[in-house]
Chains A and B, each alone.
Chain A
């Protein structure tokens, strides 16, 4: 018999296959870290067995579909995540997050002396050197971005 730790949702988004330990960071990206904007339930599963491999985190957000900008940011911290859009208890859409070749305007450079952290009219920009694990390098100062989750904009 199948045991549900969290019940299925009617409408909303299930972010599945999040790297273990990243669920709370995903919540921050979708603006639910403090439940602030939430009008409906948000459920978080941490460290549950994954059918694919090992363990995973899962986030379920009811009555909300993510916008592409949020999905792009999730890719930076959870490159194996899948997004399931649920409509009337059915998976209406399902896709993997996609790590781009370049990341523009989504994270700030972790080098405090980088010119992009000054008052210049440019968006921080990174080349993706490795998709999994994510390794980003600043195109301006050439430094590797430390702590991607902590530097998301």
Chain B
């Protein structure tokens, strides 16, 4: 079984991952120990820098008693000698039991899955999919809010290029969540994603004014707006300033509003928010471990 896109998982499978993730929490915290994946080797192929995703996969594997091997620095390895991804995969699959890959090109994980007889998990392919992030976002929302039904989720920031928001929006709409997309016109949610959400029965609202959406929000999902998307710095600063989440903005919010962010953040969330009960982005980052443990366990088997 490969996990390349969130669409590879049925709704039942997503629910199963969430149940398993819940059971993984004491193991992820180190309160309980497990040998479920004793003797198994995870190969991490990160062709792009990553901190959270890579470390949480490694931590997940080790918490289940497995071991990890990695590519080393890509510039020092066979990749820099011009080896194709297909050949790299054919080599790595004989050294490991499961492969986790992040790659700058869209479709790289699907290609890896085709060349590998061992399971492949996509940890982000270019501007494409990042299914384990989607699952951990879903798990975080489910864990805090208990139920998806009638939740009002506001997504704000770079909704056009931010790879986490497309699959999250589709997944949330399949659970009956109401969605609001807040972004400047140039960075608004792609039409294809909006149509997909509508096909699933959602009626997403699109706006560029965050302050008008905050009062009704149950979840505020913030993403980083990247400077390099803007031709000039002044334009970037104007937009970045419009979507800054701080205490003043949150005065209007419901008391149980939760603020999430896939991290790393730059200045879209003021550090003064960190100490408020709204801030759940560090808990979200921790949830990467139990969710990835659940996936590794689901794919590789093994009793807890």
Picked from A111, A113, A115, A144, the residue with its CB within 8 Å of the CB of B111 is: A115
Task: Tell me the dominant secondary structure on chain A's binding face.
Answer: loop
Picked from B107, B114, B129, the residue with its CB within 8 Å of the CB of A114 is: B107
**What is the bound-complex CA distance between A118 and B114, given in angstroms?**
16
Q: Is the CB of A115 within 8 A of B114?
A: no
- A120 interface residue, CB < 8 Å from B? yes
Q: Is the CB of B111 within 8 A of A122?
A: yes
* List of B residues within 8 angstroms of A144 by Cβ: 192
A142 with B129: in contact, given A113-B106, A114-B105 (CB under 8 Å)? Answer: yes
Chain A proximity mask over B74-118: 1 for CB below 8 Å, otherwise 0: 000000000011100000000000000001111110110010000
Q: Which one of A22-30, A42-50, A133-141 is at the interface?
A: A133-141
* List of B residues within 8 angstroms of A102 by Cβ: none
Q: Is the CB of B129 within 8 A of A121?
A: no
- A119 interface residue, CB < 8 Å from B? yes
Picked from B107, B125, B128, the residue with its CB within 8 Å of the CB of A116 is: B107
Q: Is the CB of A115 within 8 A of B192?
A: no
Kindly provide the distance from the CB of B27 to the nearest chain A CB, expressed in whole angstroms.
33
Q: Is the CB of B106 within 8 A of A120?
A: no
**What is the bound-complex CA distance between A11 and B268, given in angstroms?**
70
Q: Is the CB of A141 within 8 A of B192?
A: no
Q: Is the CB of B5 within 8 A of A120?
A: no
- A143 interface residue, CB < 8 Å from B? yes
* List of B residues within 8 angstroms of A118 by Cβ: 84-85, 105
Kindly provide the distance from the CB of B37 to the nearest chain A CB, expressed in whole angstroms.
29
Closest Cβ neighbor of B107 among chain A residues: A140
Q: Is the CB of B127 within 8 A of A113?
A: yes
Q: Is the CB of B84 within 8 A of A119?
A: yes
A120 with B84: in contact, given A113-B105, A114-B105, A144-B192 (CB under 8 Å)? Answer: yes
* List of B residues within 8 angstroms of A143 by Cβ: 106
Q: Is the CB of A141 within 8 A of B106?
A: yes
**What is the bound-complex CA distance between A113 and B110, given in angstroms?**
14
* List of B residues within 8 angstroms of A115 by Cβ: 85, 103, 105-108, 110-111, 125
* List of A residues within 8 angstroms of B114 by Cβ: 122
Q: Is the CB of B84 within 8 A of A121?
A: yes
* List of A residues within 8 angstroms of B125 by Cβ: 115, 141
Picked from A109, A111, A113, A121, the residue with its CB within 8 Å of the CB of B86 is: A121
Which residues of A, 94-129, contact B by the 8 Å Cβ criterion?
109, 111, 113-116, 118-122
A122 with B86: in contact, given A113-B127, A142-B128, A142-B129 (CB under 8 Å)? Answer: yes
Closest Cβ neighbor of B167 among chain A residues: A142
Q: Is the CB of A140 within 8 A of B110?
A: yes
* List of A residues within 8 angstroms of B86 by Cβ: 120-122
Q: Is the CB of B5 within 8 A of A142?
A: yes
Kindly provide the distance from the CB of A153 to the nearest chain B CB, expressed in whole angstroms.
17
Closest Cβ neighbor of A138 among chain B residues: B107
* List of A residues within 8 angstroms of B110 by Cβ: 115, 139-141
Q: Is the CB of A113 within 8 A of B84?
A: no
Kindly provide the distance from the CB of B40 to the nearest chain A CB, expressed in whole angstroms.
27
- B126 interface residue, CB < 8 Å from A? yes
* List of A residues within 8 angstroms of B104 by Cβ: 113
**What is the bound-complex CA distance between A141 and B110, given in angstroms?**
8
* List of A residues within 8 angstroms of B111 by Cβ: 115-116, 120, 122, 140
Chain A proximity mask over B47-62: 1 for CB below 8 Å, otherwise 0: 0000000000000000
Chain A proximity mask over B181-206: 1 for CB below 8 Å, otherwise 0: 00000000000100000000000000
Which residues of A, 33-90, contact B by the 8 Å Cβ criterion?
none
What are 5 A-B residue pairs whose CB atoms fall within 8 Å in the complex?
A111-B106, A115-B103, A115-B111, A141-B107, A143-B106
Which residues of A does B touch, CB under 8 Å? 109, 111, 113-116, 118-122, 138-144
* 5 closest Cβ pairs, A-B complex: A140-B107, A141-B106, A141-B107, A115-B107, A115-B105
